[in-house]
Structure 1
C-alpha cells in the first residue's frame, strides 16, 4: 500500500491529488502525486519570497536572486505538472474513467453498509451489470457496457475511494478533510469486506493508496 501524507491547503490539493490518481499506472500516479506536491512547495516558496522586505523600494541582490529563482522554479514545475497531468488526463478521458470507478466504489460501499454483499463481476446480478443497465437507461456514455465498466474498475479500484469520499462530503456539505476521512473509511471497508461467495476482499490492500491526514495520523 502506498501512503500519502496529505498536504495543505486541502481545497487545492484535493483537486490535484484526484487528477494525479487518474494516471493509468501505480508508478505514474506516484510520480504525479510527487509532482503535485512539488508544485505546492514551489508555490509556498514563491509566496515567502513575495513577502521579503523592501529596502528603499528595491530588493537586495540576494533577495532578488531568491525571488527570481522561486519564480523560475514555480513556472517550470507548474508548466510540467499542468501540461503533463491535467491536460493529459482531460485529453485521454482518464478523469471520466476515474469518475466511473468512483461510482462503482460508492455502490459497493453502500451495499456493504446495507449488509448486501453483492458481487462485482457476476454477469447478471453483479454491481457492474446493475450499473451498466442504469447508465444505459439514462443514456450516459462510457458506462453503458459492463466490460467497459470492468476495465475502469480494475484500473482504478485501488484509488477510487479517495474521490468517492470527496463526493460524499460535497453532497453532504462537509469539508475536504471530512471527505478524506470518509475516503479512508471506504478504503478500509473495501480491503476488509468481500462478496458473500468470495473470500477475497473487494480490493486487495496492496493495490490501495492511503491518504493520511496529519490530524488523524
Structure 2
C-alpha cells in the first residue's frame, strides 16, 4: 500500500506541477456551472429545488474530461521508457496501475467537491431531496472511477496520448450511450441485457436516490475489469521488453 501511495503522490505532483489538474478542474466547473445555472434547461427551468440539471450534464462532462486526465498515465510512461524504470524498483504492475488510478480519482473528487456550493445554493431555494443528491454524487464517483479505469486501459495499449484520449472517449460512449440507444430499440431479453450494460441507466437510478446493489456491482465490475486489463497489458509490455 505504501508503494501505491508513493506512486499516487508522484502522479498528483506531476498533474498539479504541469497545471493539467488545474485546467481540468476549471473546465469541469465552467462547463457544469454554465449548464446548471445559465443554459436554457437550467435549474430554474425545473421550478423546484433539484440537482438533476447538474447531474445530467456532469456525466457527459466526465466522459470528455476524464480521458484528458488518463491519456498520459501509461502512454507517456511507455513512450519515455520510464515504465521499465518503475518496474525495476520492486514495484508490481498492479501497484503502478492502482497508483495511477487513485491519483486520477483524487483529481476528479476535488472537482466534485468544488461543486458542493451548487448543492448548498439550490438547497436554499426550496425543499431538495437530499437522498437523491448524495445518491447522485455517489453515482458520479463510481461513474468517474469506471471512466478512469477504461482510460488507463486505453493508455496502456498505446504510446500516443491522443490515441489514448480518443480510445477512452470511444469506450465511454459505448458504455454510456450506445448500449442504451441499441437496447431501447430492442425488445425481450436482448434489449434487457443491452440496457443493463448502459452506464447511463445505472447512473440515472442512483441520481434519483435509489442505491441498488446491482448498480454498484455494475460500476465496480467495470472498474475492476479496466484495472485488470491495464495490469495485463502492462505485464505484457514489460515481458516483451
Q: Normalising TM by the smaller chain, what interval?
A: under 0.3
Given the two structures, how large is their TM-score scaled by the length of structure 2?
Answer: 0.22
TM-score under structure 1 length normalisation: 0.24
Task: Decide which structure has greater helix share.
Answer: 2
